[in-house]
Amino acid sequence: MTGAEVPRVRADLDAGWLEAALRGAGHRVRVTGLRVAPTDQGTSTRIALAARFSGPDAAALPERLFVKASLSHPLHEVMAAAGIYVTEVRMYQEVLPTAPVAVPAVYASGYSPDDGRFFLLMEDLTARGCAWGAAGQLLTPDAVAGVLSELAALHAAFRDPVRRGALSWVRRCAAPAGSTTYAYARRGAEAVCAAADRAGPAGEEAGPESWMAAFARLTAFDDAVRPTLLHGDPHPGNLAFVPGGRPVLADWQAARRGHWAHDVAYLLASALSPGDRAAHERDLLAGYLDEVAARGAAVPSFAGAWDAYRAQMVYGLLMWAATPEGSHPAKVLAAVTQRFRTACTELESLTALGR
C-alpha cells in the first residue's frame, strides 16, 4: 500500500526503509539520520524513531516518529487471522482522515496480504505533550466523560447513511457461531466459569453454555440494529490525553460496525473503578446521549439505552477473560476482567439479555 516493503524484523527499520516508506507515501525527503529506540510489545510491536530529514518536505515531518508493526510478534498469525492488522491500516487510510475524532497523524502505512503483516508510521504523541494511558489504568469520571464525547462524535457521524455506506468492508460486531470472535467468546466463557470461585460472584450460577447463550442473544441484538462505526476497544491503553485538549483515540485494530452501546459499556467498565462506575454511569450515559442528539442523530429513550448498556457488558467480560497473556501482563488481564465481572453482576447483564 506504499512504496516500502512491510518490515518483518527490527533490523529492517533502517534509514533506507524509512525513506522508502515516506517517499512512497508522497513525502519528498531524504533521511539523513536515524535512531531506533527499544521495542515495546503489545498486540503489535511498537518502536519510537528519532530521525533527521532533508528535502522539500522535510519541515513538514516531525523528527520523532512511532512505528507500529507486526515484527516477529509471537501472536502474529492469530492476530492476522482475526483481521485486526488490515483493519487498522484501512481505518487510517480510508476512514479516519475525515472522521470527527482526534487520532494520531499517520505519515505512511502498508499491509502485506501474503502474510498478514503491516506497519503504520505515525507521529509520536509524546512529542506534543500527550500522556499515553495504560491497559488496566483507572481514569476519573471526568476523563471518561471526555472520551465519551469523542465516541459520541464518532457514532453520530456514522449514523449518516452515506458515510456508513463506505464501511461495508468493516466487520460487524455481531459474531455468529463459527466466527473467530465466537470461538474467542467460548474461550472466555470457559475462563469466566473456571475462575468463578477465585474471582467473585459473577457467573457462579451460569456455566459456559449460559454465557454462550447470552453471547448469541447479544449477537442477535447487535445484528438487528442499524450499525454505526465503533472504535471497538476503547480501554485506557488505547487512549492518549493532551493537556487541555481532546482525548486521542488510537489503536483501531478492533474497529467494527455495531451497536453504539458496545463502546460505551466497554469504556466505562474498563476505565472506571467499580465504585466510580456505579456512582457515575447513569450520568455519563445521559451525557453521551445528549451529545449524540446535539449532533443531529436520533437517540433511544434512557430506559432503552440503559438496557443496551447493561447487555453489552457481556462482550467485554468474555473478550478480556479470553485474552492471552502475551497481549497484556497477567495482573492487568485479571484486574480488567474482574471489573467486567463486577459490572455484569451489578447490572444483571445476563438478565438484560433474557437469561
| Distant-in-sequence, close-in-space partners of 90: CB < 8 Å, separation ≥ 6 | 111, 169
The model's confidence at residue 78, banded by pLDDT at 50, 70 and 90, is: low
Complete domains list, the chain, with CATH: 10-128 (3.30.200), 131-352 (3.90.1200.10)
Q: Considering only 51-55, 99-103, 151-155, 179-183, which range has the smallest mean pLDDT?
A: 179-183
* Distance, CA of 355 to CA of 349 (rounded, Å): 9
What is the number of alpha carbons within 13 Å of residue 175 lying toward its C-beta?
A: 20
318 closest CA partner among 223, 190, 201, 217: 190
Interval 122-147: pLDDT, tens: 999 999 899 999 999 999 999 999 99
Give the pLDDT score at 44: 74
What average pLDDT is seen over the chain? 91
Task: Say which amino acid occupies 248.
Answer: V
Confidence check: pLDDT of 3 > 60: no
Q: Residue 142 in contact with residue 272, Cβ under 8 Å?
A: no
Give, rounded to a whole angstrom, the gap between the first and last alpha carbons of the chain. Answer: 47
Residues 6+ apart with CB under 8 A from 154: 99, 100, 101, 228, 229, 230, 231, 249
What pTM did the predictor assign? 0.93
**Amino acid of residue 46:** R
The torsion angles phi and psi of 291, rounded to 5 degrees, stand at -70, -40
Three-state DSSP class for 353? coil
Using pLDDT thresholds of 50, 70 and 90, give the confidence band for residue 199.
very low
Question: Can you tell me which residue has the cell 472506571?
Answer: 272
Secondary structure of 121-152 as H, E, C letters? EEECHHHHCCEECCCCCCCCHHHHHHHHHHHH
How confident is the model at residue 83, as a pLDDT?
A: 78
Cell (9 digits) for 136: 488496566
Q: What is the pLDDT of residues 8-20, one digit of tens each?
A: 889 999 999 999 9
Check pLDDT > 60 for residue 185. yes
Residue 1, pLDDT score: 41
Q: For the segment 241-295, what is each residue's pLDDT rounded down to a tens digit?
A: 988 889 999 999 999 999 999 999 999 999 999 999 999 999 999 999 999 999 9
Our measurement of the distance from residue 126's CA atom to the centroid of its chain's CA atoms, rounded to an integer in Å, reads 19
